[in-house]
């Protein structure tokens, strides 16, 4: 059974804008799935429909086999949502936000308190449980939303850009948390603009562009489509013009910075050998862009 199954989903807003043009998508149980797309591609509309915040125009969506319209209570009971925007009552304390949310799911007070403690400790927010939430930092507010989403112990957790705007330390701790939750068996759907995040965390991926799924495969297969790896080389001495070596694409970014596109069949050793013959010494190198980012741009352009 799929954690999430979407069939021919369309959405046309009242102003006539067609946000989704017939999406098909399946997410396996226990998967860590990336849903990528540029701003306005249709990611948030898709998530909005899955979470019952947006009415679909046509198509079917089911969560663990439960249709979100016909069996909406069963479908919602299996779903946890972490939206992009802060949507909890900022005049409530952190713990109360979680307890009230638990109440909406019919969870008893005693059980809710136990789960709230576990989730807040998992999110490193236990010492903030009595703090009024508007006094929290942006990163903490995002973690409150994740803790809240974990309260009903969902089998499918959707995180809509959870790490947007948080510092790298918090981002990394959120990655660890997401991996931990996924290891416990919860399927995760992640949308993000940080493609290295998707590449590092997710096993399967879909790319949505202008309301259509333009790519849907596992991460390894997708990355295997990359034929050329791009690197930035810091040179020891300045160059006047880029070298001309057959099979490689060189560009001179500045006198001492050279970018190179290396066909997948070639090795870096072969490149360095060739550069040595031109008396070009490389001090350091780095990836020009994240591999997935490069592929993403190729697909959506």
Partner 1 sequence: MNTLIALYTITHKEIRRFLRIWPQTLLPPAITTSLYFLIFGRLIGDRVGAINGVSYMDYIVPGIILMSVISHAYSNVAASFYSTKFQHHIEEILVSPVPNWVILVGYLSGGILRGLMVGGVVALISLFFTQIQIYDLTIILVTAFFTATLFALAGFINAVFANSFDDIALIPNFILTPLNYLGGVFYSVSMLPEIWQHISRANPVLYMINSFRYGFLGISDIAVELALGRIFGFIILLTLICLSLLEKGIGIRD
Per CB under 8 A, 64 contacts partner 1: no
Nearer to partner 1, 47 or 207 (CB): 47
- Where does this chain touch partner 1 (CB under 8 A) — which range of 29-37, 85-93, 263-271, 284-292? 85-93
Q: How far is CA 161 from CA 54, 103, 145, 254, in A?
A: 18, 26, 12, 35
Q: For partner 1, which residue of 20, 107, 119, 258 counts as binding (CB under 8 A)?
A: 107
Per CB under 8 A, 33 contacts partner 1: no
The residues, any chain, with a CB within 8 Å of residue 24's CB and separated by 6 or more, are 6, 7, 8, 9, 213
Nearer to partner 1, 83 or 211 (CB): 83
Residues of this chain, 127-166, that bind partner 1 according to CB under 8 A:
148, 152
Write a three-state SS string for 33-54.
Answer: EEEECCCCCCHHHHHHHHCCCC
Per CB under 8 A, 53 contacts partner 1: yes
**DSSP 8-state code for residue 280:** P
Nearer to partner 1, 42 or 48 (CB): 48
Q: For partner 1, which residue of 1, 16, 39, 55 counts as binding (CB under 8 A)?
A: 55
Per CB under 8 A, 88 contacts partner 1: yes
Taking alpha carbons only, the member of 272, 271, 254, 253 closest to residue 262 is 271
Spatial strand order of the sheet with 32-36 comes to: 79-82, 156-160, 187-191, 32-36, 204-209, 212-218
Per CB under 8 A, 58 contacts partner 1: no
Q: For partner 1, which residue of 13, 17, 225, 278 counts as binding (CB under 8 A)?
A: 13
Q: For partner 1, which residue of 10, 22, 54, 153 counts as binding (CB under 8 A)?
A: 54
Taking alpha carbons only, the member of 9, 88, 97 closest to residue 54 is 9
For residue 275 the two structure tokens come to 């550069």
Smallest distance from the beta carbon of 90 to partner 1, in angstroms?
A: 8
Chain contacts with partner 1 (rule: CB under 8 A): 13, 48, 51-55, 72-74, 76-77, 79, 81, 83, 85-90, 100-101, 103-108, 148, 152
């Amino acid at each position: 059974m799929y954690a999430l199954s979407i069939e021919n989903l369309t959405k046309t807003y009242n102003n006539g804008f067609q946000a989704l043009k017939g999406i098909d998508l399946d997410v396996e149980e226990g998967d860590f799935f990336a849903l990528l797309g540029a701003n306005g591609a249709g990611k948030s509309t898709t998530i909005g429909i899955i979470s019952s915040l947006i009415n679909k125009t046509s198509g079917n969506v089911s969560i663990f086999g439960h249709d979100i319209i016909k069996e909406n209570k069963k479908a919602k009971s299996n779903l946890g949502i972490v939206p992009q925007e802060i949507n909890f009552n900022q005049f409530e304390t952190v713990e109360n936000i979680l307890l009230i949310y638990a109440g909406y799911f019919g969870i008893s007070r005693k059980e809710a308190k136990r789960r709230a403690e576990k989730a807040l400790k998992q999110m490193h927010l236990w010492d903030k449980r009595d703090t009024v939430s508007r006094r929290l930092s942006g990163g903490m507010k995002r973690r409150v939303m994740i803790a809240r989403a974990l309260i009903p112990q969902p089998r499918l957790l959707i995180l809509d850009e959870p790490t947007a705007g948080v510092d790298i330390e918090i981002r990394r701790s959120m990655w660890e948390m997401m991996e931990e939750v996924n290891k416990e068996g919860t399927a995760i759907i992640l949308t993000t603009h940080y493609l290295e995040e998707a590449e590092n965390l997710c096993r399967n991926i879909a790319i949505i562009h202008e309301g259509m799924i333009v790519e849907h495969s596992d991460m390894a297969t997708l990355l295997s489509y990359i034929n050329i790896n791009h690197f930035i080389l810091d040179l020891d001495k300045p160059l006047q013009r880029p070298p001309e070596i057959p099979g490689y694409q060189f560009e001179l970014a500045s006198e001492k910075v050279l970018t190179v596109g290396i066909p997948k069949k070639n090795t870096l050793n072969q490149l360095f050998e060739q550069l040595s013959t031109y008396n070009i010494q490389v001090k350091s190198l780095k990836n020009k862009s994240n591999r997935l980012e490069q592929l993403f741009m190729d697909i959506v352009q």
